[in-house]
A and B are shown apart, each in its own frame.
Chain A
Amino acid sequence: MDRIPIIKVGDFLLVSIQVDMHDRLVMSLQDDLTTQVVKARAKGVLIDISSLDVVDSFIGRMLGNMASMTRVLGAEAVVVGMRPAVATTIVELGLSLTNVRTALDVDKGMAVLRALVNPAGDEGGHGSGQN
């Protein structure tokens, strides 16, 4: 497998990482994601890392980059599903992920994205006054 699939769900993109990624795979995901955010006119990106049993400094940096790039393109990003052992490890490693918004699972992540994209709860979504 040499690509991580990116699935469009309404205004959002869903990335579910199901394999242990080598560095080039992580970098190609980063490129694919920025391309897809623009192409799909996505308002939000949800990255599910619940299958990842290792997040090292490289993967952590790439998660941060993907969140920043998504934001620069006018969308929001949430990383969900980090395993407890991974959380313990990255904190001791010194990785803070301060610029990455996180949520416990996909449901909570979707709720966070909806609230960010549509803060007033307006389902019309005209977005004329949004920045």
Chain B
Amino acid sequence: MGPGRTETFPLRTDEDVLRVRQTVRIWMVEQRTFSLVEQTKMVTATSELGRNVVVHGGGGTARLELLSEGGRLGIRVTFQDQGPGIASIEQASRDGFTTGDGLGLGLGGSKRLVDDFEIASEVGKGTRVTITKWK
């Protein structure tokens, strides 16, 4: 299946993170246009952000979309949680910033691996992160 395809997955456990990142890989392989490095970057970013939803956001969802825009093919993943939200996105995106025992590469690192990165967060309401890889 091509552009227009969407599917939403729950993100509550680390097995859910695994399933989402494996599905992103399968969708990208099926399109036959994304290189192995592009696939690996998108899958790795998905893993980082999916884990954020499970660990920091108290669970949520990942919505996968295949897009066609101006002759370009894209894959987009939108991560949504109803967790505590992020007070300072600028601070949270800096390498090394961590609230837990991680390396603090999740947000800043993921941003470097994709073409488009959008984040919206409200304290007490939750966080939404959207990443897109174009071809």
Contact = CB atoms under 8 A, between A and B. Distances in A.
Contacts of B95: 94
A39 interface: no
Contacts of B103: 57, 60-61, 94-95
B102 A57 contact: yes
Given A56-B44, A85-B36, A94-B95, A22 B17 contact: yes
A55 B25 CA distance: 14
B106 A57 contact: yes
Contacts of B22: 20
Contacts of A83: 40
B36 A20 contact: no
Interface in A40-84: 53-58, 60-61, 83-84
B14 A95 contact: no
B7 interface: no
B14 A94 contact: no
Contacts of A23: 14, 17, 51
Nearest to B22: A20
Interface stretch (B57-65, B108-116, B118-126): B108-116
List 10 tightest A-B contacts by C-beta distance, closest first: A93-B109, A23-B14, A22-B14, A85-B40, A56-B47, A57-B105, A85-B36, A22-B18, A85-B37, A89-B40
Interface of A: 20-24, 53-58, 60-61, 83-86, 88-90, 92-95
Given A53-B43, A89-B41, 5 more contacts: A53-B40, A54-B43, A83-B40, A85-B40, A94-B112
